[in-house]
Amino acid sequence: TPRVLSGIQPTADSFHLGNYLGALRQWVALQESHEAFYCVVDLHAITVEHDPDALRRRTRIAAAQLLAMGVDPERATVFVQSHVPEHAELAWVLGCLTGFGEAGRMTQFKDKSSKQGTAGTTVGLFTYPILQAADILLYSPEPGPGERVFHVPVGEDQRQHLELTRTLAQRFNHRFGDTFVPPEAYIPAGAAKITDLQEPTAKMSKSASSPQGIVDVLEEPGPMRKKIMRAVTDTGSEVVYDEEKKAGVTNLLRIYSALEGVPVTALEERYAGSGYGQFKKDLAQLVLDTFTPIRERTLALLGDEERLDRLLAQGADRASRVAARTMDTVRERVGFVGRG
């Protein structure tokens, strides 16, 4: 069976609509056809200043949301990155194969570091994509004859990090022998970049968007509806897809289309002549219908912390077995003397 791996940062008290449509929905679907590894990346979450208690809380909330969305801990391996120390270990090795300039070209680093200023920018933020490559490659299937499919479901913003991961896999293979299958980004066609409801040309983002620009998965129904009704549109009244002239409506059409599973053109027809009001009202209902059961299940899962932690320990055991084998191979290939 093909493998799939992905990760998400526990950097907020809820995932948002962009995370859900860009990535998490695909996580749930792919566990049916793939051997799946899904990781809450707490090591990545400390690359910017953080509060320890908030990180602990958010890591559990993140895991609970994944399960509530339908990631099945029997079928998929759901785990916390810091439970598997091989992630940091492989990151060191891959870091020694990454050019300084190569890492410096990562646009996400450039964006984040320019916002933080030099004083607030850590070396951890700079090497972030290398740790991400390690997250992925630890779970690479063994290369060899036959099918070697390795998918990473992410949103558009992760494309460059996936390219770096492929490059590092190929570089390692070239220098030390065939070890990794270069992973393929699995990016959804219509919903790979959901934008900010208040600033529809910018990405919906935990770190950059205002609360009014983000729809949180765990949001209460009242505020959720309000945010969608108040989403920025333009002065016209036609519900038509036009990225240049109608970025706001276009974003809402993409969201609607992805959630209902109908093409954008069908929605344009459905709302021809009816104005933005009805369109937004129906979209708000659709978002509520999608997220309300997820919110309720998440809260229930968080009510039994012991069980949640037990599930994560199980996931860590399964992930560790794979990670340990990969690291044994890596240590041997790189030339470290075995411990005997």
- How far apart (Å, rounded) are the C-alpha atoms in residues 132 and 47? 12
Which window, 131-139, 235-243, 263-271, 301-309, contacts ligand TYM (CB under 6 A)? Answer: 131-139
Among 3, 4, 14, 18, binds ligand TYM (CB under 6 A): 18
Please give the structure tokens belonging to residue 305. Answer: 């912390």
Site for ligand TYM in 30-69 (CB under 6 A): 41, 44
Q: Is 203 a catalytic residue?
A: yes
Helix (H, G, I), strand (E, B), or coil: what is residue 210?
coil
Site for ligand TYM in 256-295 (CB under 6 A): none
Residues 6 or more apart whose Cβ sits within 8 Å of residue 283: 228, 252, 255, 256
- How far apart (Å, rounded) are the C-alpha atoms in residues 139 and 143? 12
Q: How many residues bind ligand TYM (CB under 6 A)?
A: 26
Angle in degrees, 0-180, between the axes of helices 52-69 and 275-302, rounded to the nearest 10: 110
213 marked as part of a ligand binding site: no
φ/ψ (deg, to 5) at 187: -115, 125
- How far apart (Å, rounded) are the C-alpha atoms in residues 198 and 232? 5
Q: Give the residue among 316, 313, 322, 329 at the shortest CA–CA distance from 139.
A: 322
Q: Does 213 bind ligand TYM (CB under 6 A)?
A: no
Among 3, 4, 14, 23, binds ligand TYM (CB under 6 A): 23
CB 329 within 8 A of CB 47: no
207 marked as part of a ligand binding site: yes
Among 3, 4, 9, 97, binds ligand TYM (CB under 6 A): 9
- How far apart (Å, rounded) are the C-alpha atoms in residues 141 and 149? 8
Site for ligand TYM in 166-195 (CB under 6 A): 192-194
- Closest contact distance (angstroms) between CB of 25 and ligand TYM is 10
Q: Is 227 a catalytic residue?
A: no
Nearer to ligand TYM, 8 or 267 (CB): 8
Please give the structure tokens belonging to residue 320. Answer: 């560790």
275 marked as part of a ligand binding site: no
Interface residues with ligand TYM (CB under 6 A) are: 5-9, 18-19, 22-23, 41, 44, 132, 135-136, 152, 154-155, 157-158, 161, 192-194, 203-205
List active site positions.
Answer: 112, 203, 206
Q: Would you list which residues are annotated within the binding site? A: 9-11, 18-19, 135, 155-157, 194, 203-207
